[in-house]
Structure 1
C-alpha cells in the first residue's frame, strides 16, 4: 500500500517537473482595468513613484498614499484621445531609459532630490526625441494635482468641503478661527 502511494507521488512530481520548463514566468500581466492602455504592475509602480515625487508625503499624505496613480490611469484611459494615450504610453515606457540616460540609475534607486531634478529636466526638455517624455510628464503632473485635490482625504480632512457657506457668527476673534473651509 505504501509503495503505491510512493509511486503515485513520484509520478505527480515527475509530471510537474516536466511542465515547469514550458511555463513562462518572465512576462508581466497586463492590467485589464485599463483597456486602452498596456499597463503592467511595474509601470503602475513607476507611475506611483513619479506621482509621489510630484506631491511627496509630509505633514499630510502624499500622492502614492492616496493611490493617485489609479486616478491618472483612469483619466488617461477614459478622457484622453487616442493620440494622447499613445504619447502617454510611449513616455511611460521610455521614462526608465530617460532616467538611466540622464542620471545613470533606475528611477527607483535615485534620491529624492535626484528624482525631483530628473522630473524637472524631463518637463523642460526641448529635444525632439524626448517629446513623449515631456508630454507624459505634463499629463502626469496635471492629473496628479487634480487627483490629489479631489481625493476624499483632502476634501474631508485637510480642507473640509461644506455645501452651504456655513453658520453666521457676528463677532469672532481671529484666534478662534479653525481650519480653512471650501464653500460650494
Structure 2
C-alpha cells in the first residue's frame, strides 16, 4: 500500500489531529516521504468531500467546506437524538472518573469509543483537556454538572459506591489486561 493511503488510514482510524512526527513514527518513514504522501493525499482529495487539514504541525481529516450546510443539518438531527447506551456508558465513565483518556475509556468499555467521545464533545457534554502526558483527557463540562443539578461530581447519587466499584474494575483491568 502506498504512503498516501497509509496516512489516510491512520488519520481515519485515529479521528483526531496527529502530528507529522507521530505519523512518520507510526509509518516508520522519514519526513520527506511523509511530505510526499501528504501532498499526494491533498491532491487526490482536492475535489472530494473530505480534505486533509494541516494546522501547524498537525494533520486531520475534515469535511470539505462545500458540505457545511449539509453537515450542519446532519449535526442538528444527531443532537436531537438520544445519546444511546454507548453514550451513557461513556458519559458515566467521564463523569465518575473526572479526567480520563480515550484509551482508558476504551479499556473500560472494551470497545473503541472515538465516535461516542466525538458525539459527546459536539453536544457540549464533555470537553477535551490536555492530560499529564501527550494524550488528551476528557472531563465533563460545567454545563452538564449544572444540568444534573450538582456543583461537583461528589454530589452525584451514590458517588462513593460507584467510584469504589469503578476503581476495583480499573484495578482488575490493570492486573489482567487481556
TM (normalized to structure 2)?
Answer: 0.26
**Bigger radius of gyration among the two:** 1
Q: Which structure: greater strand fraction? A: 2
Higher relative contact order (CA 8 A, sep 6+): 1
